[in-house]
Amino acid sequence: MGELSSKTADQTLDVLGRVCPYPLVLTKKALEKMSSGQMIKVLCDAPASAEDSLPKFAEKQGFKFESVKLPGDTWELYIQKS
């Protein structure tokens, strides 16, 4: 397990079955309500969001990011707000 995935998330956001741009939009909205240092776990099955838009968003914002690929096309994405 990685640094973030070994911790308990402050919030879990399930965007399974949603396609771009919804995972990114919903994640941004959830993070806006969170305090600095808090972490969200996003459950996502949209490859474009899990492998491209969400990691790029986190990097651009300076947030810590970790992705865990689960069996099948599902990811657990961990984003810690800075």
In order, the DSSP letters of 32-74 are HTSPTT-EEEEEE--HHIIIIIHHHHHHHHT-EEEEEEETTTE
Q: Judge whether 74 lies within some domain.
A: yes
Largest CA distance in the chain: 32
Structural domain includes residue 18: yes
- Catalytic, 20? Answer yes
Mean pLDDT throughout 60-74?
96
pLDDT score of 1 more than 80: no
User: Is 1 domain-assigned?
Assistant: no
Q: What is the count of structural domains for the chain?
A: 1
Q: From the candidates 9, 20, 26, 68, which is the catalytic residue?
A: 20
Q: Would you state the pLDDT for residue 2?
A: 87
Q: What is the pLDDT of residues 9-46, one digit of tens each?
A: 999 999 999 998 999 999 999 999 999 999 999 999 99
Domain of residue 55 covers: 11-80
pLDDT exceeds cutoff 80 at 50: yes
Q: What is the CATH number of the domain that holds 26?
A: 3.30.110.40
Q: Does residue 50 form part of some domain?
A: yes
- Give the global pTM: 0.95
Spatial contact of 40 and 1, defined as CB atoms under 8 Å apart: no
Q: Does 39 map to a domain?
A: yes
Do the domain assignments include residue 48?
A: yes
